[in-house]
Structure 1
Amino acid sequence: MNLFIQALIVALITWYVATALPMFLRWSFYFGAPLVAGLVNGIIFGDIAYGLKVGATIQMAYLGMVAVGGALPSEMAISGYLGTALAMSVKLPPEAALTVAIPLGALGLLCQNAKMTLNAIWVHKADKYAKEGNIRGVKLMNLYGSQVFPFLTYFIPTFVAIYIGSKGLDKLLTVVPNSVIQALKVTGGLIPALGIGMLLSYLWQKEVVPYFIIGFFLVAYLKLDIMFIAIIGGCLATIYIFNTSKKEEAIDD
């Protein structure tokens, strides 16, 4: 698959996830964009294992992200799908990929703000059609008109960034000293720690602290596989939920 087709597919996915995806799918495909993008871009670029490593590393930076009143600290579709694709196109180490994805996510808020502002045009037109009793016009404005500006603000920048930007980034990396790449890896390695810290600030309760400590020692000292730890953690979480539910039922009775 050549770069043009890869850029076209990623740009279409980024636009669709950011603006046209049904709401019930946004929790996974949008808020979990880097992780999902790791699999999707892994298939597109022909290296699923590498894609998952890049996506999982980027996702860790957003573990503590909270959307309040629709306001986001980062554009997840841009950071996830475009950031992962750019990193994979030039074979950046997963840790260094964060230094590409995080700034892209911040810049991506410009796309979101432009979409929210310009789409007011179609809202007013829909209101006009509603007053006239034109149901078809209202549907057209909401289903199709509302996607005109998002297509321009998401699809085109993403396509250009991958098709042209990856070539420029690849040339840049050929002249960048290896020490700089290593520094980016170290810096990128600190960002997931920040994401985990943000998440713990919301979840840190005395009832769950022992589980956190158990998981840490299982990984740090017993060197157990992360998938095994995830399965054990899922089982412990299920047991905790069941026990908590039983206590609440007993109190109600």
Structure 2
Amino acid sequence: MHGDILFWQVLLLTLYSMYQIWDDLTIVSSLAQPVWAGLIAGAVMGDVTKGLIIGGSLQLTVLGVGTFGGSSKIDANSGTILATAFSISTGMNASTAVAAIGVPVASLMIETDILGRFTNTFFQHRIDRLIDEENYPAIERNYLYGIIPWILSRGLPVFLALQFGGNFVSSAVKILDTNLKWLSNGLATAGALLPAVGFAILLRYLPVRKHLAYLILGFTLTALFSTLYTNVQSLGTAMTKVSKGFSGSFNAVSMVAIALIGLTFAINEYKRDDEKQQLAEIRQQQKPVAQSTTTEEGEIYGDED
């Protein structure tokens, strides 16, 4: 579906952008993830497939990115919403949208995140004062008021971009598809490579040396299953063309099989760690307590560890 973004679409995407930060801070239902943002934005815009491609790409891009304490991070969810909306409305390539819109928007939203945090301190100081006054109903109200800066930090930029940025993006896409075709190809290539960057960051922080065998096995299984299912699907498609009486469903479910195998290994690893923990607790309980004596002067003799 190509064309202008309709107001009802702008409204729904804005409401979701406001909800997703609330969900990320309080509910934590996993709906505040780029892949969900891509699914929802794609459904609203009428192209779920492209939405999932963009959302999945940005999900993999930020896979290894994390923050601690009050640090801000790039807002891949808002980037996914805008990249999906403009990609579908203008016909932009999904990989190009990830690199040209998704990542820049996600980075720029760090500033609105900081603004939301800064503004939120107003309600925090009010709560400090109300605690001294023991005004508990007002404390509860101001606690809930704190969500206002957060949802506005996402909702306002997304609404303004969707409502007034469509013409600019459409003009930019036309230029990228004509005079700056080389730049468009470069952005598409960069967008396709970004998920690999996310994996690299993730592997940097995961205990790869400890679980190197699982890493090798996972890579091997992925390669084998992808090849197997692709060939079976191609064979089934060819058979249906040769024989009209041949019927069968050959779906590319390789990733489902790989995910189930990975889940099996994860369950086994969890059970082993749990058994080790229980064994360590039993040994700790059975450890003899060292005897000690106390003199009249109060000095303690014995185990001083």
TM-score by length of 1: 0.85
Aligned residue number for residue 23 of structure 2: 21
**Percent identity, aligned pairs only?**
26
C-alpha deviations, 1:108-133, integer Å up to 9, x for none? 01111111112222223333333344
C-alpha deviations, 1:38-66, integer Å up to 9, x for none? 22112211222221111111111111011
Where in structure 1 are there 5+ consecutive unaligned residues?
Answer: none
Aligned residue number for residue 120 of structure 2: 119
One-letter code of the match for 1:7?
Answer: V
Aligned residue number for residue 96 of structure 2: 96
Structure with larger RCO (C-alpha < 8 A, sep 6+): 1
One-letter code of the match for 1:246?
Answer: E
Aligned residue number for residue 6 of structure 2: 3
Give the length in aligned residue pairs: 249
Q: 1:38 to 1:250 in 2, by over 3 A?
A: same
Aligned residue number for residue 199 of structure 2: 196
**1:184 lines up with 2:187 in the alignment:** yes
Give SS of 1:119's match.
helix
Separation in 2 of the partners of 1:110 and 1:66?
17
Q: 1:121 to 1:240 in 2, by over 3 A?
A: closer
Aligned residue number for residue 15 of structure 2: 12
Q: 1:88 to 1:242 in 2, by over 3 A?
A: farther
Match of 1:242 among 271, 281, 296: 271
Higher helix share: 1
**1:163 lines up with 2:163 in the alignment:** yes
Aligned residue number for residue 149 of structure 2: 149
Q: 1:77 to 1:26 in 2, by over 3 A?
A: farther
Matches within 5 A, 1:30-179: 30=32, 33-99=33-99, 100-144=101-145, 146-176=146-176, 177=178, 178-179=181-182
TM-score by length of 2: 0.72
How far 1:3 moved relative to its partner? 1.9
Contact kept? 2:50, 2:84, Cα under 8 Å: no
Separation in 2 of the partners of 1:42 and 1:227?
22
Separation in 1 of the partners of 2:20 and 2:206?
28
Q: 1:82 to 1:139 in 2, by over 3 A?
A: farther
Q: 1:236 to 1:166 in 2, by over 3 A?
A: farther
Separation in 2 of the partners of 1:134 and 1:220?
62
- Which is higher, the Rg of structure 1 or of structure 2? 2
Contact kept? 2:35, 2:59, Cα under 8 Å: yes
Q: CA RMSD, aligned part only?
A: 2.6
One-letter code of the match for 1:25?
Answer: I
Where in structure 2 are there 5+ consecutive unaligned residues?
Answer: 230-253, 283-305
